[in-house]
Amino acid sequence: MRHPSVWMVSSVLTFMLVGCTTNEQAEPKEPTTQTPSNEDQPVVQPNDSESNPNMEEPDASQEEPVTEEPATTDEPVDEQPPTTLEPAPEPEPAPSEEPTDKAAPEAEGKIANLDLGTLVLVNKQIALPENYKPSDLVPAQIDFVSTASGERKMMRAEAARAIEALMLGAKADGMDLKGTSAFRSYAYQVQLFNAYVARDGKEQAMKYSAQPGHSEHQSGLAIDVSSASVNYQLTQSLGQTTEGKWLADHAHEYGFIIRYPRQFEAETGYMYEPWHLRYIGIEHAAKVRAANEPLDRYLEEYMK
Ligand SMILES: [Zn+2]
């Protein structure tokens, strides 16, 4: 019995000594250490609290899988493997910059003119207000990939009706298309963009993903679609499929344009995205197609 007591006493003393020493030494360094540890905790949640629901959706993760072509995805290939997405991305611990808003940097403070309605211009220089969310979002009644859910299946009413008509027309022509991601909140885009930056670095991420506020998906007027022939992934090879060609030839009939054509990559700053449809109304979609110029330039001239 005594032995244990003695042993315990010395253990306690030892513990105390060690503890004191440790604490003293540690305090100073703590700051440094903490940062790193955060990274380990990958869970995305840090960024958006609300997004938990969204996170399930794979936007982020998808990309990895999808990848036939490097940076294809403007957003995330929602459709695919939902599982992976979130995990990897979260870690972003944004080192230096500010947490959420950082994204804005590139933009030079230009705010989108919402008075333009369905012609609102959102690009790398012009952003939607952080708190902007269309008041007329409604579910688009079309087939979506299984990983799409909630708000991501919604669009502004006029655009929702248009994509429904487009899908009916596509189906009538034998096309097999599904929506993968429509509306995206600012908060969701924050997660997504940060995840991409963590994975590929900011410079690369900028080529295929919009910074928060700069995504057309936040406008409720954009939707990503893909076909069974490419396993509903957001890949540039969609453009070579029957469905991709159909979209290029007929989207304008329903008021949509392929927003980021290959020939205007340098001008828009985005890689070719045959899956990203932007609604601007039938009249303007036909004009943009006929003019063969990016929406940015078309609107610049239209506004004069
Ligand atoms: Zn898109």
Output the domain CATH number for residue 203: 3.30.1380.10
Planar angle of CA 105, 183, 234, nearest 5 degrees: 85
Confidence class for position 155, pLDDT limits 50, 70, 90: very high
Give how many domains the chain has, as a whole number. Answer: 1
Question: Which of 281, 282, 289, 223 lies closest to 261, judged by CA?
Answer: 289
Which comes out higher in pLDDT, residue 164 or 24?
164
In sequence order, which residues have a C-beta less than 8 Å from that of residue 48 and are 6 or more positions away? Answer: 54, 187, 188, 190, 191
Residue 131 lies in a domain: yes
pLDDT value at residue 269: 93
**Distance (Å) from CA 295 to ligand 1 centroid:** 15
Ligand 1 centre distance from Cα of residue 42 (Å) = 25
CA of 248 to the centre of ligand 1 (A): 15
CA of 79 to the centre of ligand 1 (A): 12
Distance 23 CA to ligand 1 centre (A): 50
As to burial, measured by CB atoms within 10 angstroms (0-12 exposed, 13-18 middle, 19+ buried), residue 259 is buried
The answer as to whether 45 is a domain residue is no
Within a domain: 144 = yes
The identity of residue 124, as a single letter, is K
Beta bridge partners of 223: 277
Residue 104 lies in a domain: no
**Residue that has been written with the tokens 């333009």 in this structure:** 116
| Band of pLDDT at residue 108, cut at 50, 70 and 90 | low
pLDDT over 70 (residue 203) = yes
Q: Is residue 238 part of a domain?
A: yes
| Separation of alpha carbons 288 and 283, rounded Å | 9
Give the distance (Å) from ligand 1 centre to CA of residue 224: 5
- Residue 84 predicted with pLDDT over 50: no
Residue 58 pLDDT > 80: no
Tell me how far the alpha carbon of residue 185 is from its chain's centroid: 9
Buried b vs exposed e over 96-121: b needs ≥16 C-beta within 10 Å?
eeeebebbbeebeeeebeeeeebbbb
In a domain, 11, yes or no: no
Of the candidate ranges 32-36, 222-226, 233-237, 239-243, the one whose mean pLDDT is the lowest: 32-36
Residue 221 alpha carbon to ligand 1 centre in Å: 10
Gap from CA of 40 to ligand 1 centroid (Å): 30
pLDDT single digits (tens) 242-260: 999 999 999 999 999 999 9
Cα 19 to middle of ligand 1, angstroms: 54
Ligand 1 centre to CA of 122 (Å) is 12
195: in domain? yes
What does the pLDDT average to over 124-133?
95
Instruction: Estimate to the nearest angstrom the gap between the alpha carbon of 101 and the chain centroid.
Output: 15
CB atoms within 10 A of CB 31: 8
Give residue 230's domain range: 114-302
d(CA 234, CA 179): 11
**Inside any domain, residue 260:** yes
Residues with CB under 5 A from ligand 1 (ion): 74-75, 224, 276
Distance 95 CA to ligand 1 centre (A): 27
